[in-house]
Every structure is written in structure tokens, then in C-alpha cells.
Structure 1
Amino acid sequence: MKIVLPIIASFLFAGTSIAGNDFSAIDKYVNAVKKEVGLPSGTAVAIVKEGKIVYEGYFGYSNINSKKKVNDKTAFYLASITKPIFALSMLLMEENGDIKDNTSMAEMFPALEFPYIHEDKIQVKHLVSHTHALANIPLVDTLAFTGQHNKLQRQKLTSASKNNPANQLGHYQYGNEGYNILSVWVEDKFKQDWQQTLEQLVYQPLSMNHTSSYVSDAGIKGFDVARPYHLYAANPNEVMHFEKSDSTLQAAGGTFSSARDMAKFLIAQLNEGQVDGKQVFPAKVIEKSHHKLATNDLKYRDFVRKGYAWGWYIGPYKGEKTYHHFGGIAGSHTHASFMLEHNIGLVVLNNEETVAGSLTAGIADIVYSILLGKGDVNKITDSRIKAMKERWLEIQADIKETNETHEKRNASRTMVLTREKSEYAGVFHNPLWGNLEVELLENNDLKFSLGELNAVATAAKRKDELRIQFPIGSGRIAAYKIVEDKVVSIDIYGINPLAVETFTRL
């Protein structure tokens, strides 16, 4: 029997729990944080125990302007939690005889040339465990942000992979390259988008009906997509300018899912592939997905990381061996974790990331304290509320300082251009990044568009240079090259930390 907890604030949808554990502390904590911050962004929580969902809590809005409440059908952008889902699909392909964990890139891409790497040494297990030692920012950012790609371009980008000078094969270094390279192979192998293969291998068998790696599926499947919000924006209550589209969803971070669907995914992890008494995935596949492939020594908030499996970090949390993966990008913060020995797990999804990181850490502390019977939950909850109030004061101060710094910088700089402003407009091309369009607006501003990224340029320090602040990442410098009184190209600094990217005028 489910007990519906009382609504604590008018904009919150209260949680539900199954008798056996009292999870009311979660509602108390989340409600307190939402009230303190004053931004009613969405948070969805699901707890699993012994093969069942024992708590669901839905708070705030998926769309603040339309006051659309978060519910069990709301799909949040998972970001990097896509990795363990995609890694599982690779193991299912291995089970079906399509590939092996030691298949090399040379075997995967016999028709492609790799001028910068030893493709015969890099294997599937390296690509899923971040031990491939590759660097390919154009591939990563094109698939995740600009969206300027088709099958031929994705193969060209894959071929451009280089060795990371700061790493070596077999050593762990987190990144998105490996999963993106595997997705290029998947689409060639199965003659369809990697999203369709993932749907067939994972989402459909688990009946994840409110999950997709296509944003456009929301309308078709009848679920709501949580819109992204950012506290550093001029108006945090407005949806972020940059939102994910079908062309910017990628295998390293390209899935929308509900808390209830992700709970099913965790149940399969905890119960050797069984969900509701049905053997959805082979037990040996699930078991292998938990095998450590890489060693690391890291920590994210309270979660210690000593290893990396097939898309899962491994390490102690509250003294217990825990598998976990989180996702984070402007407008999204997500959490998935589980403890095999106790058959318990947690999903937390947010459509905001600044406060959500601390909020989620507090939820995890409260949840696992309850499930493991460790500590006084009331004291832990009160302590977390106090800590969040202090953290919110720090965030507010940082937002104010950041905005003031930007204003002072822009006010102190004057745009120095040696040609007529119209001459700086046009279309510029880079063989890996695609077209960079520069448009002179009616108000005399220069607008830069790189695929789905766009920004109005501001002044930089040097002449014939402009500063571009795309809605993701740090600012870039666009340095124009002028030859014989003509603008011939633009060098972009900051778009690729490993190189300066030149865009030539078409």
C-alpha cells in the first residue's frame, strides 16, 4: 500500500513511499532547499530496494513558466548517466556475437584511416573505461553542442582522433571520446542511428516508456521533457538559451529518462538482470558490467572512486561498496547509484545544476542513512538543510561577483576593428567543425553561430579580435586574419584546448 505524504509547499508534488521505511525526511529536506533558493526547478527522486521501487518524490516544475509539475512521466536530461546505459548495450552486443571487449579500433573501422594513432592497440574495453588515451575535442563538441554532423562527417571526425599527450593507453582519464567513437561503429554495424539500437537493446526490454535518446520522441511517446534552468542566467526562471536537440544527443550523454524508468534500470543492475520476476538481461552480462576495467583514485563530494567498470564508478560510500555515475551540464544534474550487497539504489534527477549538486548530495546522505540504518536521520537532515542555506549564500555571492566581473570587463574594453564592420561578417569553414556564420545585425552587433551555438560578440584585448561567449563552456577569442586588406580567415582560441582552430572564409 502506498502512503501519499502531504503537500508541503504549493509548488511541490509530494513523495510517495511503501511501508517499511520512513522517507519523509527527503520531502522535508528538498522542500526546505527549494523554498530557500526560490527557484522552483524540478527534482525527481526514486529509491529501489529488493527489486521494488519503495519511494518516489516529485518536486517543482519541469517548465516554470507554464507551471508544469514534475511527475512520474517527466523525462530529465541524464547527461553522462547515458554512459552505463550505452556500455550495457555494448555488452549485449557482445552476448549476441556482434563484437568483443577486445575488438580493436582497426577491426571496428577497417575502411577508415587513422593517421595519428595506433588503432590496432585500442580496444572496446579501453573506449568504455576511459583508458584509450585519445583526444578528440572536435568529435566531442560537434556531437554534443554544435550538431553540425552527418554520417560522413562523424567518420571524418573519428579518423581525426589523436593521442592525448597527457595520458597513455591503459591509464584512466575521463572523457567522452570513447563512447562517441563506439557510437559511430554502432551506426555503421546496424545501419541505423545508435539511438535506435539502444532503444531496441535496453529501453524496450525494460519497458522504459518515458525514455529516449531523441528529444523529438517526447511528443510521440507522450512524456514531458524537463526544460533546463541556470542560476547564473540573467533571469533564472527563463529556460536556458541552449537546449539539447536530436543532433546534440550523443552516446556519452544523450538520453532523457524519468526517475521511474531509471529505477527499473537500477533494479536490473541489482537483481542480475531480473525485473518484476522477468529475466530481462542475461545475468552474466549484468555481472560483467560490474567488473572493474580501470583503477583511479578520485572523489566527487562524498563519493570515493577507486575504479571504473562498464560505465560505473566503484568505491566506498558510507563504508559500503557502491556503484555510481552522475551527470552534469548547465541545466542538468543527475545521480544514479546502487549497493549490490544491500540490494538498494537511488536515482535523483534535476533540471538545474548549480544548487542541484549539493541538493543531490544531501538527498543521497539522507536516503542511504535510512536504508542502511546509519546515523540519526533527523539530525542529518537538519544538518544538511543548514549546510544548504550556507552554500546558497556562497552561490549568491559568486553569482553577483561573476556578473559584476563580466560587466566591468565589457565596459573596460573597446572593440578595435581595422576594417568596416560588414567585412567581418560572412561564412567561414573548418573541415572538422563545419561552418561558422558571422552575421551583422541591424543594431550593428556581430552574431557568431557555430551550428546550434550562437552568441553576440563583445570586445577583446587586441585589434581585429572579438570575444565570443557561447552558452556552454568558457569564452572564446575570434582572431581575424587580414591579408591584402581582405578578411580571409578566423582563428578561434579556446574552442579546442589542444589547438587553435582556423575557419577560412568561403
Structure 2
Amino acid sequence: MGSFRYSNYNYNILTALTDKQLGKSWKDIIDDEIFSKAGMTRSSAYISKAQNLGWSIAHPHDTFGLNKPKLVNSERLKTDATMQSAGGVIMSAGDAVKWLEFMVEDGRIGGHQVFSKEAVVSTVRPYVKVNKKYGKYERNHYGLGWYIGKYEKDVLIHHFGGFSGARSHVSFMPDRKIGVAVFINDSEVGNPLADVIANYIYDSLIEENDAEENYKDSLEEAIKRRQVAKERLAASKARLANRPSTLSLPLDKYVGKYSSIFGESIAVEVNNGKLHFVEGDFSTPTTPYTKAESVRFNHISGLPMVMKFSLDQNGDVYQLLLVDEIYKRERLD
């Protein structure tokens, strides 16, 4: 087995290849080959489809440090352009049950073999070692989109997801043939609660686990973590506000369109005296970072990221580095 390092870009690379090879978008493939066959009528990789059909869509919220929830900034709302293959699917609770059913039942739904048993089983084979922990979950191996590990004494197949204003927990215990899906439209306070709720359900179904006591302890721990995180956030904002710029050139010298070897493009613009990171419909201001020729910004996922510019021998910007990926600046000559 090889070494393991999770990256969203790996999914993006895969679907870039399949889109070209098959002449069909991955979004349409999963709709035709999975959602339609499984009878999942409220699942899609297109936000526009959900909107046009009038589906009930849970709007993402920001609750961190607030007395009451508020909607996330509009630029962080998902659009078709930002629904990418590492986290670009919306799904109803009812459809999540069908998804878990055919995973637990090796491709069967309602007793009927809808998907090939071999295809479903192949996704949970251990391909690489992980040997890490995530909260109370062991992660021993990674399959095809699934972590294989344990919760308490039981094998747990799982994968979670997060985005600005959204958090998901999807898991199942193959030996017990039970599964849990928890979707929360908040990625901050709700982030640990998704797992707390899932654990409570599993503990309630597994009689040897003390569900009520575990649930109480987990809630108290989540509250403590929230308070610590609020204090760190306040300190971080104060520190960032006083951080000097490390850019050596006028801001307009960094403006341009940058492309990676995978065909992905991002842009850098100047708005209201600040550099902005632009990706598709998403635009966000940057703040100074500690390393030379670098800026910091909050990605559409809500995570902080760093963008480092490279200068050539003439002192001109020719590329930038973003999450270990190099983007070459496009010349407009």
C-alpha cells in the first residue's frame, strides 16, 4: 500500500479526466448513473436544478460568536460554478437514507439489486493506510471516497464534509447494517455537533454504549471548544489588523488571471484598495501575511489560505502558489 494524503484536488483531477474522456460532465454522470437509478429525486450537483424545481434548500448560516444565527455572506453561497467534485452535491434526508441503504446492502434498495455488488464493495476496500484519528473515530485505511476505521468496537465506514455554512456526517456500520447521515446548515458551532448527534444515534442503537452519558459529555466538550475558539478568533483578528504588508510592488502589479496545469483559473483584482482573490463567482479580500510577497484570505470553503507571488529577475509577477499548486500568470500581450 502507498502513502496517503487527502486532497480535494485529487477529485478535481479525476473528474477533469473523466469529463474529457467521456465527453460528459461528472455532474450528469452521477445524476444518470446513481441518483436516477437509486430513486434519489432530491439530489443533484446542480444548485440551479434545485432552485428551478423549487426544492427546499437549507441556507448556510454563520453562528460563531453570535447570539443568534445569520445567513453567510452571499458570495459564499454555492452556485453551479462552485459545485466541484470534492464537495458539490446537495441531498435531502430521504435521499441520504437511500444512499446509505445501498451502501449497507451491497447495492440493493428495497430488496432489489440496483447496483453491482462488486462496484459497491470495491469502494470500501482498504487501498491505503491512514492510521489516524478524527475525534472519536479511528481512520485505519482509505478506500474510494470512504475512510475505513472504527467507532468504539464497531467498524465504521465514513466520510464527512464541510463548507462555509454547512457540515455533513455520513457513515455506516457494515456489520450491524445501520447508518447515519447528519446535515447541519452551519459549519462553525454546528461542526462538532454533527458528530455528537451521529454518535448519540449509534450509542442508542448499540445497547452496551451509554448513550445519554456520552451525549452529555460530548455536548459539554463542544461548548468548551467553542469558547476557546471564540477567544482565539478574537486574538487572531486583533493580530491580523496590525500585520504589515509584505508585498513589494504596487497592488495593480499583482492583478491578472492565473492558470494551473490542470486548466483551473483564478484571478487577482483590486477592489477598495485591497487585493481580492477571485474564483468563479466567488470574490474575497485579502489581508497581509508574514512571508514575503504573500497574502492571506478566507477561501470559499471558509478555511484560511495563503497566496504567495513569485517575481522574475526583472521584478515582475509571473506566478503564484496556492495550496501546493502553481498558477502561471497569463500575459495579455
Q: Same fold (TM over 0.5)?
A: yes
Q: How far off its partner does 1:366 sit?
A: 1.1
Residues 100 and 172 of structure 2 are in contact (CA less than 8 Å); yes or no, is this contact kept in structure 1? yes
Looking at structure 1, the residues matched to 186 and 23 of structure 2 have their Cα atoms a distance apart, in angstroms, of: 36
1:17-56 matches, cutoff 5 A: none
Is 1:434 the equivalent of 2:262?
no
Is 1:497 the equivalent of 2:324?
yes
Match of 1:408 among 242, 245, 248: 242
Tell me the equivalent position of 2:283.
Answer: 454
- Provide structure 1 residue ranges, at least 5 long, that are not aligned to the other structure: 1-130, 132-169
Is 1:469 the equivalent of 2:297?
yes
Q: How far off its partner does 1:266 sit?
A: 0.5
Is 1:303 the equivalent of 2:137?
yes
Per-residue deviation, residues 296-318 of structure 1 (Å, max 9, x unmatched): 21111111011222322111212
1:131-280 matches, cutoff 5 A: 170-231=2-63, 237-240=70-73, 241-280=75-114
**Superposition TM-score, scaled by structure 1 size:** 0.57
What letter corresponds to residue 281 of structure 1 in structure 2?
F
Residues 436 and 503 of structure 1 are in contact (CA less than 8 Å); yes or no, is this contact kept in structure 2? no
Per-residue deviation, residues 327-352 of structure 1 (Å, max 9, x unmatched): 12333221111112211110011222
CA shift in 2, pair 1:179/1:438, >3 Å? closer
Q: How far off its partner does 1:437 sit?
A: 4.3
Per-residue deviation, residues 207-240 of structure 1 (Å, max 9, x unmatched): 1111101111112333133333345699962313
Looking at structure 2, the residues matched to 366 and 238 of structure 1 have their Cα atoms a distance apart, in angstroms, of: 28
Identical aligned pairs, as a percentage? 24
Tell me the equivalent position of 2:218.
Answer: 384
CA shift in 2, pair 1:219/1:264, >3 Å? same
CA shift in 2, pair 1:265/1:431, >3 Å? closer
Looking at structure 1, the residues matched to 246 and 20 of structure 2 have their Cα atoms a distance apart, in angstroms, of: 47
Looking at structure 2, the residues matched to 448 and 276 of structure 1 have their Cα atoms a distance apart, in angstroms, of: 47
What letter corresponds to residue 476 of structure 1 in structure 2?
M
**Rg comparison, structure with higher value:** 1
Residues 259 and 330 of structure 2 are in contact (CA less than 8 Å); yes or no, is this contact kept in structure 1? yes
CA shift in 2, pair 1:454/1:219, >3 Å? closer
**Superposition TM-score, scaled by structure 2 size:** 0.83
Residues 96 and 181 of structure 2 are in contact (CA less than 8 Å); yes or no, is this contact kept in structure 1? yes
Match of 1:424 among 228, 253, 261: 253
Looking at structure 2, the residues matched to 418 and 182 of structure 1 have their Cα atoms a distance apart, in angstroms, of: 37
CA shift in 2, pair 1:434/1:341, >3 Å? closer
CA shift in 2, pair 1:404/1:297, >3 Å? same
Looking at structure 2, the residues matched to 180 and 209 of structure 1 have their Cα atoms a distance apart, in angstroms, of: 25
CA shift in 2, pair 1:260/1:416, >3 Å? closer
Judge which range, 394-403 or 181-190, deviates more.
181-190
RMSD: 3.2
Q: How far off its partner does 1:285 sit?
A: 2.9
Looking at structure 1, the residues matched to 186 and 230 of structure 2 have their Cα atoms a distance apart, in angstroms, of: 15
Q: How far off its partner does 1:258 sit?
A: 1.6
* Number of equivalences: 325
Tell me the equivalent position of 1:322.
Answer: 156
Q: How far off its partner does 1:481 sit?
A: 6.2
Q: How far off its partner does 1:468 sit?
A: 4.8
Looking at structure 1, the residues matched to 185 and 122 of structure 2 have their Cα atoms a distance apart, in angstroms, of: 32
Looking at structure 1, the residues matched to 162 and 116 of structure 2 have their Cα atoms a distance apart, in angstroms, of: 30
Tell me the equivalent position of 2:125.
Answer: 291
What letter corresponds to residue 436 of structure 1 in structure 2?
A
- Provide structure 2 residue ranges, at least 5 long, that are not aligned to the other structure: none
Looking at structure 2, the residues matched to 467 and 278 of structure 1 have their Cα atoms a distance apart, in angstroms, of: 54
Q: How far off its partner does 1:177 sit?
A: 4.1
Residues 454 and 470 of structure 1 are in contact (CA less than 8 Å); yes or no, is this contact kept in structure 2? no
Matched residue SS, 1:225: coil
Looking at structure 2, the residues matched to 286 and 364 of structure 1 have their Cα atoms a distance apart, in angstroms, of: 23
What letter corresponds to residue 227 of structure 1 in structure 2?
H
Looking at structure 1, the residues matched to 207 and 291 of structure 2 have their Cα atoms a distance apart, in angstroms, of: 61
Residues 458 and 466 of structure 1 are in contact (CA less than 8 Å); yes or no, is this contact kept in structure 2? no
Q: How far off its partner does 1:414 sit?
A: 6.0
Per-residue deviation, residues 275-310 of structure 1 (Å, max 9, x unmatched): 223322233333333332223211111110112223
Looking at structure 2, the residues matched to 342 and 467 of structure 1 have their Cα atoms a distance apart, in angstroms, of: 49
Q: How far off its partner does 1:201 sit?
A: 0.9
Q: Which has the higher contact order (CA 8 A, sep 6+)?
A: 1
Tell me the equivalent position of 1:345.
Answer: 179
Residues 274 and 285 of structure 2 are in contact (CA less than 8 Å); yes or no, is this contact kept in structure 1? yes
What letter corresponds to residue 46 of structure 2 in structure 1?
Y
Matched residue SS, 1:474: strand
CA shift in 2, pair 1:480/1:383, >3 Å? same
Matched residue SS, 2:194: helix
